[in-house]
Chains A and B, each alone.
Chain A
Amino acid sequence: MTATIDQSVTAAAAQKPRLARFARPLLGLVLPLSLALFWEIAVHMGLSNGRLVPPPSVIFKTFADLAATGELQEHAAATLWRIGWGFLFGVLAGTVLGAVAGYSALIYRLVDPTLQGLRAVPSIAWVPLFILWFGIFEASKIILIAVGVFFPVYLGVMGAVLSVDRKIVEVGRAFRLSGFAMIRRILLPAVLPAYVLSLRAGLGLGWMFVLAAEFLGASSGLGFLLIDGQQLGKPAQIVAAIVAFAILGKLSDWLIVLLSAPFLRWEDVVARR
């Protein structure tokens, strides 16, 4: 009797992961899809005219129309171009300053208080100054995004360098690693997981700031589409732009995860659930 129970238990255990692999992500779709469906039906039945809150079909049509005219791609490209450069500069500055501040106590004391002070400034507050300094075109937008990306990357890198396990560094010393070899073989791999996290946090802020930058006087970009939709009373266009933001944001984050995955395979053992 125990044998039969055991068998059924193992069979269930073998079935479970396969089922769970598909079922779990799908579970997350239940709520948004049923809400969308509900609203679609409600509008169709005439319970609402759907003008201010367009039903999914209208949003999809707007999205498709914008894509067909090439408008969507053009605006998305403008936004991606800005965030690409802003992210690059922010990451470069954040990495370099974070690394030296984490490595050298002297530089930390010199630089960190100022940077923490600047971090406390809501970054949008820089906009008027940046416009005066760098003009109303791309430069000021890219710099604003770079500022947004800089702080999480700086903090992440500095924290990661500071928290490298001394015992592991000692292993490096026992094997007579110094300078560049120590950085390449011990420090870099040790900070990588935290670095990737800080890049993702930085990119998230980058997406917030690109929108802020585009709100403040742009004639292109997804942020412009939003403003345009508001001023011309086209809520479907607004939602379409929001959807585009969501897709691009998720894709860019996924890209970081994908590119870093080969270097972080050793972490998977714990992360895998």
Chain B
Amino acid sequence: MLVLDRVGKTYPNGVRALDGVSLEVGPGSILAVVGASGCGKSTLLRAISGLDTPTQGRVALDGVPITAPHEKIGIIFQEPRLLPWLDVADNVGFGLEHRPRAERRERVALALARVGLTDKAHVWPRELSGGQAQRVAIARALVPRPEVLLLDEPFSALDAFTRADLQDHLLDLWADFKPTLVMVTHDVEEAIVLADRIMVMRAHPGHLFAAIDSDLPRPRERQSAAFDFVKRRVLAALDRSLDRTAVTDDRQTKASAGAALWW
């Protein structure tokens, strides 16, 4: 269980990026965080990862406070951030340095097979496409089997086809051993395709504004009425978080849903 207790972050320059964020994410569940740019989504994720420490409140995983990067928490960034001097297999095995060589090789091979890049094992990162590189980054984060995987807008730099493909890949991998996923995204559809719960954040200072639970059956059909219903609720919450008038008329909702790639 990942628990955030009144987490706040004030930067040294006085900017309050986060204020009083409390939430609980159960093991194996998927949480998506959406919100306008600059609402503190990434700050929240970095606080959970231990890369930054919150100035107020605390983050705990299974009762253990998180103040520095933790072996049970993995993170995937917006960019793949592969190490250019290691080939794909060594990049994937980066977090397994202390394991015996045979085990390392086996787990890397397995992970590469799971993301469909077995034939790229000994290729340099430079030679990969954006989608392939991000798949390697996913494999690298998953190979140490974290209990919590954080994703900071992981697919936002990719084209729509690749993005949908990687979302499926991610769900596939998640199903293997069901880590908790916390994902920051701009893309409302992505949030609904993946998440059990969608948190809408609001800025100045960043706080949780609304939570929308979604129990759509998996795999999720983007064209279904139920999907559309959840999407409308999320978009409405986003609109309210931006102090726009809540959209109630159905036709208007359709129009704004057209901007489902919401940023």
A-side interface residues toward B, CB under 8 Å? 167-168, 170-171, 173-176, 185-186, 189-190, 192, 263, 266, 269-270
Whether A168 contacts B51 by the Cβ 8 Å rule is no
- Residues of chain B with a CB closer than 8 A to A190's CB: 85
CB contacts under 8 Å to A, within B100-131, are 124, 126-127
User: Looking at the complex, which of B71-79, B201-209, B228-236 is the stretch in contact with chain A?
Assistant: B71-79
Whether A269 contacts B95 by the Cβ 8 Å rule is no
- Residues of chain A with a CB closer than 8 A to B97's CB: 185
Bound state CA distance, A74 and B97, in angstroms? 50
B-side interface residues toward A, CB under 8 Å? 49, 51, 68-71, 74-75, 77, 79, 81, 83-87, 94-95, 97, 124, 126-127
- Residues of chain A with a CB closer than 8 A to B69's CB: 173-176
- Residues of chain B with a CB closer than 8 A to A189's CB: 83, 85
Whether B75 contacts A174 by the Cβ 8 Å rule is yes
Pick from B75, B77, B81, B83 the residue with the most CB of A within 10 Å: B83
Q: How far is the CB of A173 from chain B (nearest CB, A)?
A: 6
9 more CB-based (< 8 A) A-B contacts, given A266-B124, A269-B126: A167-B79, A168-B83, A171-B94, A174-B51, A185-B94, A192-B85, A266-B86, A269-B124, A270-B126
Cβ-closest 9 pairs across A and B: A189-B85, A266-B85, A269-B126, A175-B95, A266-B124, A171-B81, A176-B69, A174-B75, A174-B69
Whether B83 contacts A186 by the Cβ 8 Å rule is yes
Pick from A175, A189, A269 the residue with the most CB of B within 10 Å: A175
Bound state CA distance, A192 and B87, in angstroms? 16
- Residues of chain B with a CB closer than 8 A to A270's CB: 126
- Residues of chain B with a CB closer than 8 A to A176's CB: 68-71
Q: How far is the CB of B108 from chain A (nearest CB, A)?
A: 15
Q: Given that A167-B79, A266-B84 are contacting pairs, would A173 and B124 also be in contact in the complex, using a CB cutoff of 8 Å?
A: no
- Residues of chain A with a CB closer than 8 A to B124's CB: 266, 269
Is the contact region of chain B dominated by helix, strand, or loop, or is it mixed?
loop
Whether A266 contacts B126 by the Cβ 8 Å rule is yes
Q: Given that A167-B77, A189-B83, A189-B85 are contacting pairs, would A175 and B126 also be in contact in the complex, using a CB cutoff of 8 Å?
A: no
A-B CB contacts (within 8 Å), total count = 44
Closest chain B residue, CB of each to CB of A264: B85
Bound state CA distance, A232 and B160, in angstroms? 78
Closest chain A residue, CB of each to CB of B141: A174
6 A-B residue pairs with Cβ-Cβ distance under 8 Å, sorted by A, are: A167-B79, A171-B83, A175-B94, A192-B85, A266-B85, A269-B124
Bound state CA distance, A189 and B49, in angstroms? 25
- Residues of chain A with a CB closer than 8 A to B86's CB: 266
Pick from A171, A176, A186, A266 the residue with the most CB of B within 10 Å: A171
- Residues of chain B with a CB closer than 8 A to A266's CB: 84-87, 124, 126
Bound state CA distance, A192 and B86, in angstroms? 13
- Residues of chain B with a CB closer than 8 A to A192's CB: 85
Closest chain B residue, CB of each to CB of A176: B69
Closest chain A residue, CB of each to CB of B98: A181
Closest chain A residue, CB of each to CB of B97: A185
Q: Given that A175-B94, A269-B124 are contacting pairs, would A167 and B81 also be in contact in the complex, using a CB cutoff of 8 Å?
A: yes
Q: How far is the CB of A186 from chain B (nearest CB, A)?
A: 7
Q: How far is the CB of A136 from chain B (nearest CB, A)?
A: 46
- Residues of chain B with a CB closer than 8 A to A269's CB: 124, 126-127
Q: How far is the CB of B53 from chain A (nearest CB, A)?
A: 12
Bound state CA distance, A170 and B69, in angstroms? 10
Whether A170 contacts B68 by the Cβ 8 Å rule is no
- Residues of chain B with a CB closer than 8 A to A263's CB: 85
Bound state CA distance, A185 and B49, in angstroms? 21
Q: How far is the CB of B52 from chain A (nearest CB, A)?
A: 10
Bound state CA distance, A167 and B46, in angstroms? 13
- Residues of chain A with a CB closer than 8 A to B77's CB: 167, 170-171
Closest chain B residue, CB of each to CB of A269: B126
Bound state CA distance, A186 and B81, in angstroms? 12
Closest chain B residue, CB of each to CB of A181: B97
- Residues of chain A with a CB closer than 8 A to B71's CB: 176
- Residues of chain A with a CB closer than 8 A to B126's CB: 266, 269-270
Bound state CA distance, A170 and B94, in angstroms? 13
- Residues of chain B with a CB closer than 8 A to A167's CB: 77, 79, 81
Q: How far is the CB of A166 from chain B (nearest CB, A)?
A: 10
Q: Given that A175-B95, A176-B69, A266-B126 are contacting pairs, would A170 and B85 also be in contact in the complex, using a CB cutoff of 8 Å?
A: no
Bound state CA distance, A97 and B74, in angstroms? 36
- Residues of chain A with a CB closer than 8 A to B75's CB: 174
Whether B68 contacts A168 by the Cβ 8 Å rule is no
Q: How far is the CB of A161 from chain B (nearest CB, A)?
A: 16
- Residues of chain B with a CB closer than 8 A to A185's CB: 94, 97
